[in-house]
A and B are shown apart, each in its own frame.
Chain A
Amino acid sequence: LAKTTQPISMDSYEGQEVNITCSHNNIATNDYITWYQQFPSQGPRFIIQGYKTKVTNEVASLFIPADRKSSTLSLPRVSLSDTAVYYCLVGNSNSGYALNFGKGTSLLVTP
């Protein structure tokens, strides 16, 4: 299984850029990297997905180096509403499509 490792928690001030790195050393060739955001008492929701290099959408950027053994979610100019838990998920098509989440990174944004 493609296990992921993330920092347990991070703190940031409003307006700063936040970068959360996920390690996935045994990622398979066909696996994509997906990031989710979860607020308390809600199910996770999709933020961004990528395979290699850089992907950007309206809320975040995802940086993936050439060896794909890690990835970095970048949140530009965070606000208080970005306080949430962020999960990195690596799709594992080689193990019957079991999708296992790690423990995630709890981001706290303060004024």
Chain B
Amino acid sequence: NAGVTQTPKFRVLKTGQSMTLLCAQDMNHEYMYWYRQDPGMGLRLIHYSVGEGTTAKGEVPDGYNVSRLKKQNFLLGLESAAPSQTSVYFCASSSLWLNTGELFFGEGSRLTVL
């Protein structure tokens, strides 16, 4: 049981390049989330999804797009990367029946934009 898997774990981009982060969960969870964490900061919610085919904006959605075409996958896209998007990105998921806030996190994806 892999839980929540993020790929890639590390990536370096140049300003203006695009990329997609993949989050995959094998727990049949309904809810999925993308957070970013900057040095010395807490986690800030970018986008989230309450089920297949749905997405919603979080606290800091600008510059990011997401898709949830399959229940087990939640993709985070950067269309034109900026240095301000240098961060560690965490994906998380939770069960419909446990939507009281118990999240299972991936190991993180460290993105550097030059």
Interfacial residues, chain A to chain B (CB-CB below 8 A): 31-34, 36, 41-46, 49, 85, 87, 89-91, 93, 96-104
Contact of B17 with A by CB under 8 A: no
Q: Are A93 and B99 in contact (CB under 8 A)?
A: yes
In the bound complex, residues from chain A placing their C-beta under 8 Å from that of B88 are 41
Total interface residues on B, CB under 8 Å, equals: 27
The total number of A-B Cβ pairs within 8 Å is 71
Q: Are B56 and A49 in contact (CB under 8 A)?
A: no
Interfacial residues, chain B to chain A (CB-CB below 8 A): 4, 31, 33, 35, 41-45, 48, 50, 56, 58-59, 88, 90, 92, 99-108
Q: Are A99 and B45 in contact (CB under 8 A)?
A: yes
Which residue from chain A places its CB closest to the CB of B41 in the assembled complex? A103
Q: Are B103 and A98 in contact (CB under 8 A)?
A: no
Q: Report the separation of the CA atoms of residues A62 and B106 in the bound assembly, to the nearest whole angstrom.
A: 25
Q: Are A43 and B45 in contact (CB under 8 A)?
A: no
User: A interface, by DSSP: helix, strand, loop or mixed?
Assistant: loop
Q: Are B90 and A104 in contact (CB under 8 A)?
A: no
Min distance, Cβ B10 to any Cβ of chain A, angstroms? 11
Which residue from chain B places its CB closest to the CB of A46 in the assembled complex? B102
Which residue from B45, B92, B101 sits with its C-beta under 8 Å from A49? B101
Min distance, Cβ B53 to any Cβ of chain A, angstroms? 15
In the bound complex, residues from chain A placing their C-beta under 8 Å from that of B58 are 98, 100
Q: Are A96 and B106 in contact (CB under 8 A)?
A: no
Q: Are B50 and A32 in contact (CB under 8 A)?
A: no
Q: Are A43 and B107 in contact (CB under 8 A)?
A: yes
Q: Which 10 A-B pairs have the closest CB atoms?
A: A43-B105, A91-B101, A32-B100, A103-B42, A34-B101, A101-B43, A91-B100, A101-B42, A104-B42, A43-B90
Q: Are B43 and A91 in contact (CB under 8 A)?
A: no
Min distance, Cβ A94 to any Cβ of chain B, angstroms? 12
